[in-house]
Amino acid sequence: MVITRRDALNLIGKSTLMLPLGALSMGAGQFSPQIQPFQQPFRIPPVLNPVHSDSTGDYYEITMQQSQVEMLPGLSTKIWGYNGMTPGPTIRAQRGRQSIVRFINNLPESMVIHLHGMASLPQYDGYAEDFVPFGYYKDYIYPNNRAATLWYHDHALHQTSRHVYMGLAGMYIIEDDLELNLPLPKGDYDIPLIIQDKRFDSDGSLIFDDRRQRGLYGDIMLVNGVPYPRMEVANRKYRFRILNAGTSRTCQLQLSTKDDLIIIASDAGLLSAPVRTKNLRIGVAERYEFIIDFSKYPIGTQIVLQNPIFSSNIDSDNRTQQVMRFDVVRQESDDSDIPNTLRPVQIIPVSSAVRARTFRFGRGNQLWQINNRTWDKNRVDANPSVGDVEIWNLVNTGGEWVHPVHIHLVDLQMIDRNGLPPLPYERGWKDVFLVESGQTVRVIAKYGPHAGKYMMHCHNLVHEDHDMMTQFEVGSGGANPITTAKAKPLPVPPF
Ligand code: C2O
Ligand code: CU
Ligand code: CU
């Protein structure tokens, strides 16, 4: 079945909700309360300290729990958060030193925790049916094998969109010496920007309206959990690590001054060289890092980060066209610099591929599908050997839907999109690829280093849940992702 724009509009108008939504409100098609943008101060999620460190690595503990937070001024919002906050605390790790993160589930549903961008063993990758039930915990081992901006989020089968929307997402940053030795802005000038769109009821509760499993589009933009924050900056360079942790919305970011964003990294690490752009397109789960040089602006300048894409069939009003504001408020010296070369990205030669596979992302039987199939943990749709280089053709069969396709385990490179070169800032290591209606995106990767079963899916979380997800198996004999390291009941033992 092909969905036309007219169908989409009809479906949106009739959306109803019959799901067991727990803490979520149901008001379909309703607008959030009006709020004044750029009033609330910008904030940064706290960095989590290890509870223990030894020669094996650093040990962390995170409890998933419900809490009430003030997102909209004067209103209280019930969320599900890592350590009761959303976004969750940021973990900062060093390449080559592993982290052991204990996730404790104090929420009334089974959870799965996935560290997106990490080459984890199958039993620690957050396989969608490797559940951590209420009252259980699981220790996840993360090897931290490359420097990049990752994120951790829920991945429970068919429930991911609701769980992440309720707040279960956080950033995870890995650094290494090469990166730290570059003169890029560091420390207080290295800032996470986790952007999300949400919709609120008049009492502040979150509205989950997935438009009959088509997609969820909020009408309020939040950065690090704050709607349209106002960040006071010095007149110097800053490094921003941006993550689209929304449910379905693709953003196209630009500065109100029409100045350049200087992109230095994509999903899985630094680009070879900085790329200047006035428009940065970022789909769900993509990460980019960019420098803004505020030194050219006089003190008192206000610069809005905008998202001027406006799609009348998904946006109920134009409130998603603004994201946050930077106010240049003080003078500061700046010893940072933007080097001409960052980290050389070694291009995987197309000729090294031993085979190609095609995955068609489309709709059928009232579901989102890959090659006309839905999720089945007993079926494997690709079986590269460890070390094989493969080209995957990611095809969007049409219908005006964008599919941000994510492949677990590996870092990939985009070869082309409909035969045309990727955008300049997409020419680095990535794990999510925007595939628009009718497009074919070719990606290349070397499968490994681990054997085992890993997921690939559309990262529009509503599509993923219903049911645009499949798995591949690297080699044979890999650890069973469900039975190898099962969650254990509380109480937790000491590390
Ligand atoms: Cu960000 Cu399979 O997930
Ligand atoms: Cu992932
Ligand atoms: Cu999709």
Ligand having the closest approach to the CA of 120: 2
Q: What is the mean pLDDT of residues 45-60?
A: 97
In a domain, 341, yes or no: no
- Is 463 touching ligand 1 by the criterion CB < 6 Å? no
The per-residue pLDDT for range 98-141, each reduced to its tens digit, is 999 999 999 999 999 999 999 999 999 999 999 999 999 999 99
Tally of CB atoms within 10 A around 310 = 12
Classify residue 304: in a domain, yes or no: yes
Structural domain includes residue 97:
yes
Element (H, E) at 255: strand 251-255
- Letter for the amino acid at 178? L
Across 418-458, where does the E strand assignment appear?
A: 432-435, 440-446, 452-458
> Which ligand has the nearest atom to the CA of 455?
1
- CA 135 to CA 122: how far, in whole Å? 23
Looking at the CA of 456, name the nearest ligand: 1
Q: Would you state the pLDDT for residue 27?
A: 52
Under a CB-based contact definition with an 8 Å cutoff, are residues 138 and 62 in contact?
Answer: no
Q: How far is the CA of 403 from the centre of ligand 3 (A)?
A: 4
Atom of ligand 1 nearest to the CA of 408: 2
Q: Does residue 211 have its Cβ closer than 6 Å to ligand 1?
A: no
Whether ligand 1 lies within 6 angstroms of the CB of 237 is answered as: no
| Ligand with minimal distance to 284 CA | 1
> Does 39 lie in the same domain as 125?
yes
Cβ contact 409:472 at 8 Å: no
Radius of gyration of the chain, Cα coordinates, nearest whole angstrom: 21
Q: What is the mean pLDDT of the chain?
A: 94
CA of 401 to the centre of ligand 3 (A): 7
**Ligand 1 pocket member 163 (CB < 6 A):** no
> What CATH number corresponds to the domain at position 155?
2.60.40.420
Does ligand 1 lie within 6 Å of residue 457's CB atom? Answer: yes
Decide whether any atom of ligand 1 lies within 6 Å of the 455 Cβ. Answer: yes
Q: What share of the chain has pLDDT > 90, as a percent?
A: 91
- % pLDDT > 70, the chain: 94
Name the burial class of residue 477, with classes exposed (0-12), middle (13-18) and buried (19+) by CB atoms within 10 angstroms of its CB: exposed
Ligand 1 neighbour 417 (Cβ under 6 A) = no
Residues 113 and 23 grouped into a single domain: yes
Clarify whether residues 428 and 290 are in a common domain. Answer: no
In this structure, is residue 484 part of a structural domain? no
Distance 246 CA to ligand 3 centre (A): 13
Instruction: Please tell me if the CB atom of residue 114 comes closer than 6 angstroms to any atom of ligand 1.
Output: yes
Task: Identify whether residues 281 and 164 lie together within a single domain.
Answer: no
Is 448 domain-assigned?
A: yes
pLDDT tens string 250-302: 999 999 999 999 999 999 999 999 999 999 999 999 999 999 999 999 999 99
Tens digit of each residue's pLDDT (9 = 90 or more) over 170-227? 999 999 999 999 999 999 999 999 999 999 999 999 999 999 999 999 999 999 999 9
The residue from 125, 151, 178 where one domain ends is 178
Q: DSSP string of 18-70?
A: -S--TT-B--TTPPPPP--TT-SBP--PPBPPPSEEETTEEEEEEEEEEEEE-
- Mean pLDDT of the 381-408 span: 96
| Nearest to 93, CA basis, from 66, 44, 57 | 57
Judge if 192 and 169 occupy the same domain: no
Q: Look at the block and give the residue holding tokens 């964003």.
A: 261
Q: Of all protein residues, whose CA lies closest to atom 3 belonging to ligand 1?
A: 116
The answer to whether residues 325 and 377 belong to one domain is: no
In this structure, the answer to whether residues 225 and 245 fall within a common structural domain is: yes
Whether 116 lines ligand 1, by a CB cut-off of 6 Å, is: yes
* 3-class SS of residue 384: coil
Question: Per-residue confidence at 28, pLDDT binned at 50, 70, 90?
Answer: low
Q: Identify whether residues 275 and 298 lie together within a single domain.
A: yes
The reported pLDDT for the residue numbered 427 is: 98
Q: 243-260 in b/e burial notation, b at 16+ Cβ within 10 A? A: bbbbbbbbbebbbeeebb
User: Which residues, including other chains, have CB under 8 Å from residue 187's CB and lie 6 or more apart?
Assistant: none
Atom of ligand 1 nearest to the CA of 285: 1
* Cβ 325 under 6 angstroms from ligand 1: no
127 shares its domain with 156: yes
In contact, 274 and 427? CB cutoff 8 Å:
no
Domain final residue pick, 145, 178, 211: 178
How many folded domains does the chain comprise?
Answer: 3
Confidence of residue 353 (pLDDT cuts 50, 70, 90): very high
Q: Is the domain of 171 the same as that of 212?
A: no
According to the model, what pLDDT value does residue 30 have?
84
d(CA 460, CA 405): 8
In this predicted structure, the answer to whether residue 147 has a pLDDT above a threshold of 50 is yes
Query: Based on the domain organization, do 167 and 191 belong to the same domain?
Result: no
The residue range of the domain holding 367 is 350-474
Q: Could you say which of 268, 299, 330 is where a domain stops? A: 330
492 lies in a domain? no
Tokens linked to 253? 């970011």
Burial bucket for residue 140 (CB in 10 Å: 0-12, 13-18, 19+): buried
pLDDT above 50 for 22 = no
In a domain, 488, yes or no: no
State pLDDT tens for residues 463-473: 999 999 999 99
Q: How many CB atoms lie within 10 A of CB 403?
A: 30
Q: Is residue 432 part of a domain?
A: yes
297 in the same domain as 168? no
